[in-house]
Chains A and B, each alone.
Chain A
Amino acid sequence: MSSSNREFIYRRLHSLLGVIPVGGFLIIHLSVNWFATRGVEEYNRAAAFMEALPFRYVLEALFIFLPLIFHAVYGLYIAFQARNNTSNFSYFRNWMFRLQRITGVLVLIFVTWHVWETRVAAAFGAEVNFNMMEEIVANPAALIAYIIGITATTFHFANGLWSFAITWGITVSPKSQRIATFVTMGIFAALTFVGIRSILAFVGV
């Protein structure tokens, strides 16, 4: 009987991986970015520390790229299975459902571009440091893309935490789900502040 519960496992895995490790990595990444607000030296030291972590490629593959790719590919499949109906059912949670799918697609595009410009460039010899980011966001279009990308990412993560809590049966009562909405939107606001404040540091704001 248990051999046919593949979809259940995939869906639960998709939910889990979005938080652990992908969400965890997002928090670490945003924390490292914050060093940019403390100046070039501090940022470069933090970036160098991350780059010098032992077993970096194994860690990156196991805790970032593989879970991220699974979450993204399966997430796309989930997103395109929905027939959005916010026009007839314009409830708050239905909008959040829709936004979760829209931001999911945005984040996938953003992250692909971001990895291309930083990690892939690094693989071809570019150095990942303050200067690299400074040059990227010197282009106003890129800066706007980063701001949109960061906001979509923090929203997708925070709102994803809300549904994670339901998917695993943590928040069952309507009251706990309502409070989880406030908590996760607080997390969204806080992480968005951290993300945008950091990216602005690269344009000297």
Chain B
Amino acid sequence: MTTETANKTIELIIVRQEDPESKSYEEKFSIPYRPNMNVISALMEIRRNPVNKEGQNTTPVAWDASCLEEVCGACSMVINGKPRQSCTALIDKLEQPIRLEPMNTFPVMRDLTVDRSRMFDSLKRVKAWVPIDGTYDLGPGPRMPEAKRQWAYELSKCMSCGVCLQACPNVNDKSDFIGPAAISQVRLFNAHPTGAMHKAERLQTLMDGDGGLSNCGNSQNCVEACPKEIPLTTSIAAMNRATTLQSFKNFFGSDNTA
């Protein structure tokens, strides 16, 4: 290691919180620089030597991670104001001091760890699956046109990371908006030839109850924030069109209920 690298440090400001009930506070850290670090390896360095910038011993910072290749979404946090995955946030590309905060749209469990259960509850709410279980073999399903498969594949990349909910001004403690991710999943499963057999039912989940599709205010932050570049605003508009048609069918009546 050259002396230049040896003296270089990484400055971090981390928003910490003891447990879900306690108040959050900031703690500064200054850790030795190594080339090619990401936010996760910086946090691992703090865990190895939990001493803050003032030289006081402190508790290691808690965070979540799993795949380390931006496919699981577990490591999402707010880095310099933007929600994103910490495993692909390279230190060399970040302005210092690097500010780490939990995605506070979700309940904060401890430090940077949040409870993203609502992502999975929403998937349940909108029935984001293709029901095929039964007592006998139904045989192969209908084929999917290639052009449709291509755009549907993009939607299937969602990893329920929650970044789009954190970015949305309408997902907060004052509103129970389901958020863009689950809406886009309705479009995905309704595009699936077998999934389409339960199309009306899924659309109904977006119209019924509070915090459904209509709570979208079109700020379009989600599409800017999504790390998987999922066309969330197109999905939302497509579901707006589908629910418009569905509500006409429901009200005026139609044999074409699916």
Contacts and interface: CB of A to CB of B under 8 A. Distances in A.
Partners in one complex: yes
Interface of A: 1-2, 4-5, 7-8, 11-12, 78, 80-85, 87-89, 91, 93-94, 97-98, 100, 162-163, 166-174, 177
Given A93-B219, A163-B218, A173-B234, 17 more contacts: A2-B208, A82-B217, A83-B169, A83-B172, A84-B169, A85-B167, A85-B221, A89-B82, A89-B219, A89-B221, A97-B220, A100-B217, A162-B218, A166-B240, A172-B237, A172-B240, A174-B231
A83 B174 contact: yes
Q: Which of B173, B220, B225, B245 has the largest count of A CB atoms less than 10 A from its CB?
A: B220
Given A11-B215, A82-B169, A85-B221, A169 B210 contact: no
A201 to B, nearest CB: 36
Chain B interface SS verdict (over half): helix
A5 B218 contact: no
Contacts of B218: 93, 97, 162-163, 166-167
A185 B243 CA distance: 27
Interface residues of B, number: 41
B220 A93 contact: yes
B20 interface: no
B82 A88 contact: yes
A196 to B, nearest CB: 27
A199 to B, nearest CB: 30
A174 B243 CA distance: 19
Q: Which of B174, B175, B237, B242 has the largest count of A CB atoms less than 10 A from its CB?
A: B237
